[in-house]
Every structure is written in structure tokens, then in C-alpha cells.
Amino acid sequence: MLFFMHVLRLGPIALIAVICGTGCAYLQSSDDTLPAATTAVTSAVGETVPDAVNDNTTTDDTLAVTSPGASVPSETTTSTSTSTTTTTTTIPAPLGVDELILRADGIGAALFGTDPDSVVRYLTSVLGAPTDDSDWVDPSTYYACAGTVVRRVEWGVLAVMFGDESDTASGRAHLMSYTYGAVDRLGDEPRELRTSSGLTLGTTVAELRSAHPDVVLSEGDTDVDIPPSYFIPGSSPSPSGLLTGVGDDDLLLVVFGGSGCQA
């Protein structure tokens, strides 16, 4: 106790030196004046100690540094109470495939009409680099799509189409549609993408009917290479896709969304 009283009479800098020991070597004393800093730490006796790490950062948070023992004696009072502020930081979960809901108006946060570069960056942040990119080509390359140019970018069996003419926008490049799945590639990556109603590749026709009682099924025509398909009325364009057949045990193979053209 006498030692502490003696240190306090030497001034606040000596007190901090005693509390920190060799662990506070970055604190420098110069004629008992503490250097200015934008981020401050409050000591047990109310002194302001500079933070030598964040010289250019301003913060309103104040942390308390406590000395050994419950209280520290001063020259005018017998004890000084201290408090400690605890800050909890929440880190958002990384984006995953559950972010990419196959919606009637887009895919995940990428709505139809969004500019291509933004959509590619967004999907890349979830799925990684594209596996294929056609760049801008003539619309006739993909089943005579409308407009003057189109571009198809793929991440495995997920493909998005960009163009300058669709039901969403005209005269500028934008996201027109998406295709998830391929007739002969059931089970390929990326897996587990789902529609707003929970449909995914491999969903049975019975489950499709249960989720959408108004679904319209078509048996297709094998003679002209038209596979079985479905569409769900009620929105424009109507969500649609391809099937292995129209029986209850048949499976969903491809999901389409958007307009303009799909490939």
C-alpha cells in the first residue's frame, strides 16, 4: 500500500508504468504530458492513455484498464470504482447456395434487369469463378433470341443469359433469364439450388403437384425431340422446366426462369 501511495505521488505516468510493466513498452513518457491520440483508453484513476495502433481512427468506445486489486487509492479519496465495457461483434455467415433462391423475378438477390457485371460478381461470390462464358455474341447463336447481342455465363449446370431485349428491359444489357439443370446431367454441381417453393433437381412430379396444384404438365413429343415439361401459371413469365415424364415418380430435370431467351 505504501508503495502504491508513493507511486501515485510520482504522477499518472509512473502509475501506468507500474501497472503495465514491460507489456506497455509502446507508452513513452515526456515531461509528464501524454501524446495526443484519437483512440483513448481510460485507466483506473481516470487518466487518458493513447492507443499507439489506431492513430487515424476515431471511436467512442472506452475500455477500462484495472490494476491488481479491487480499488486504487488516490491522494484525495480512499478508493476509485472502475468499470469494464464488453463489446460483442457479430460476423455475418458467408454466402452459400441457399442464398441463390430460383425466383420468378430473378436468382437470389440478382433480379431480372440487373446489369451483367453486377450479376456475375454476385454469383461468383457464391459459386466461385464461372466454368464458361460465351462473351457477347449474335442472338442467333442461342435459338434466335431477341435483341442485338446476348451472353451466356455458366457455373456448372447453372447458366444465366444476358441480352438487350426481354420482357424486363429493352435497349440495354441486363439479366434476362436463368437455366438450372441439364437433361443429361442430373446430380452435377452446383447442387441444392431451390425454387421459392422448395423444388430442386430430382424433385418428383408428385412433389411438384403438391407444391403447385395448378401446374400444367406436357408429355412432350419424342418424335421431334421435345421433352416432357411443366409450367406454373400465375406470373409472367411463368416458371417452367423439363421432366423425365409426367408420372408421379418422374423427376424434375431443368428449371427455367425469366424471358428473352433460355439456352
Is the pLDDT score of 108 beyond 90? yes
Position 24 scores a pLDDT of 39
Pair (247, 146) in one structural domain:
yes
Residue 198 falls inside a structural domain = yes
Residue 30 placed within a domain: yes
Residue 63, in any domain of the structure? yes
Report how many domains make up the chain.
Answer: 2
Are residues 115 and 245 part of one domain?
Answer: yes
Same domain, 118 and 62: no
- Residues sharing a CB contact under 8 Å with residue 83, sequence separation 6 or more, in sequence order: 64
Out of 62, 89, 116, pick the residue that ends a domain.
Answer: 89
- Asked if residues 6 and 26 have their Cβ atoms less than 8 Å apart, the reply is no
pLDDT of 111 reads: 96
Please say whether the beta carbons of 97 and 126 come within 8 A. Answer: yes
Specify the pLDDT at position 169.
94
pTM, rounded to two decimals: 0.64
Q: Please tell me whether residues 124 and 58 are part of one structural domain.
A: no
Instruction: Among 41, 68, 89, identify where a domain stops.
Output: 89
pLDDT in tens, 128-183: 999 999 999 999 888 778 899 999 999 999 999 999 999 999 999 999 999 999 99
Residues 114 and 221 in one domain: yes
Task: Specify the higher pLDDT residue, 18 or 104.
Answer: 104
Burial (0-12, 13-18, 19+ Cβ within 10 Å), 134: middle
* Residue 119 domain flag: yes
Please report the pLDDT score of residue 81 as a whole number: 52
Q: Does residue 231 lie in a domain region?
A: yes
pLDDT greater at residue 171 or residue 99 = 171
Same domain, 80 and 110: no
Give the pLDDT score at 90: 59
Residues 126 and 194 in one domain: yes
- Asked if 105 and 198 sit in the same domain, the reply is yes
Task: Give 227's pLDDT tier (boundaries 50, 70, 90).
Answer: very high
In a domain, 247, yes or no: yes
Q: Are residues 194 and 232 in the same domain?
A: yes
Q: Residue 12 above 70 pLDDT?
A: no
Which of 22, 54, 89 lies at the terminal end of a domain, its last residue? 89
Between 36-40, 94-98, 251-255, the lowest mean confidence (pLDDT) is in 36-40
Instruction: Please check whether residue 263 lies inside any domain of the structure.
Output: no
Is 104 within a domain?
yes
Task: Indicate if 71 and 143 belong to the same structural domain.
Answer: no
- Residue 132: give the domain boundaries: 97-258
Domain shared by 151 and 178, yes or no: yes
Q: Please report the pLDDT score of residue 106 as a whole number.
A: 95
Tell me how far CA of residue 198 lies from CA of 2, 107, 159, 203, 237, in angstroms: 73, 14, 19, 9, 19
- Same domain for 68 and 167, yes or no, is no
As a whole number, mean pLDDT of residues 205-230 equals 95
